Amino acid sequence: MPGHFITFEGGEGAGKSTQIVRLKAFLESFGKSVIVTREPGGSPGAEKIRSMLLSGGAKDLGPRGEAMLFAAARADHVDVTIKPALERGDWVLCDRYADSTRVYQGEAGVDQDYLKLLETAAIAGLHPDMTILIDVPPEIGLSRVAKRSESDESGGPDRFEDEAVAVHERRRKLFLQLALEEAYRFTIVDGSRDEDFTEQAVRKAVLEAFSGDLVDMGKLSQRSEVHL
Ligand X SMILES: Nc1ncnc2c1ncn2[C@@H]1O[C@H](COP(=O)(O)OP(=O)(O)OP(=O)(O)O)[C@@H](O)[C@H]1O
Which residues are annotated as part of the binding site for ATP?
Answer: 10-17
From the list 3-11, 17-25, 154-162, 180-188, the region that binds Mg ion by CB under 5 A is 17-25
CB neighbours of 204 closer than 8 A, spacing ≥ 6?
none
Decide: 82 and 5 in contact? Cβ < 8 Å.
Answer: yes
Q: Please, what is the minimum distance in Å from the beta carbon of residue 14 to Mg ion?
A: 8
Chain residues in the site for ligand X (CB under 6 A): 10, 12-18, 144-145, 148, 191, 194-195, 198
Q: Is 17 in the site for Mg ion (CB under 5 A)?
A: yes
Handedness of CA 21, 22, 25, 30 (dihedral sign): negative
Residues contacting Mg ion: total by CB under 5 A:
2
Which is closer to Mg ion, CB of 16 or CB of 102? 16
Q: Please, what is the minimum distance in Å from the beta carbon of residue 100 to ligand X?
A: 9
Q: Of ligand X, Mg ion, none, which one does residue 198 interact with (CB within 5 to 8 Å by kind)?
A: ligand X
- 2, 58, 106, 151, 176 from 160: Cα distances, Å: 35, 12, 14, 19, 19
Shortest-Cβ-distance residue relative to Mg ion: 17
The residue ranges of DSSP E strands in the chain, in sequence order, are: 4-9, 34-38, 91-95, 130-135, 186-190
Q: Please, what is the minimum distance in Å from the beta carbon of residue 66 to ligand X?
A: 17
**Max CA-CA distance within the chain?**
69
Please give the Cα distance from 185 to 180 (Å, whole number): 10
Which is closer to ligand X, CB of 13 or CB of 42? 13
Instruction: List interacting residues with Mg ion (CB under 5 A).
Output: 16-17
